[in-house]
Amino acid sequence: MGVLGVVVWSTLTITARIFLARTTVEPMIALGHPFSLSDAFWTGWIRTFANQVVPMSGIAAYAKVLRDKTHISWSELAALAAPQYVLAAAALGVVGLIAVTAG
């Protein structure tokens, strides 16, 4: 893979994480719950790490952080579920396509 490959992979990974963070921030702002991009970025990492330890536990960690940081109601949090998955899949799909094309 080489150094250049690692740099490209790292750059694409961080870019994907920023896209995923935006998919958290924008709906939260639309619902009237300000949530910073940096908080969303690290919440994404927490979710991913938790999923590696216990599958599907990341969603619980994600909900916990969102509720602690924004005091969002459970019904509003549930309303975010479907768009979150669609937006996350689209963001990862675009970044994955770029990664495959880059070699």
Q: What is the pLDDT of residue 42?
A: 92
Q: What is the pTM of this model?
A: 0.68
pLDDT in tens, 63-87: 899 999 999 999 888 888 776 667 6
Q: What is the pLDDT of residue 87?
A: 67
CB contact at 8 A, 72 and 84: no
Q: What is the pLDDT of residue 36?
A: 93
**Where in the chain are the domains?**
17-27+34-102
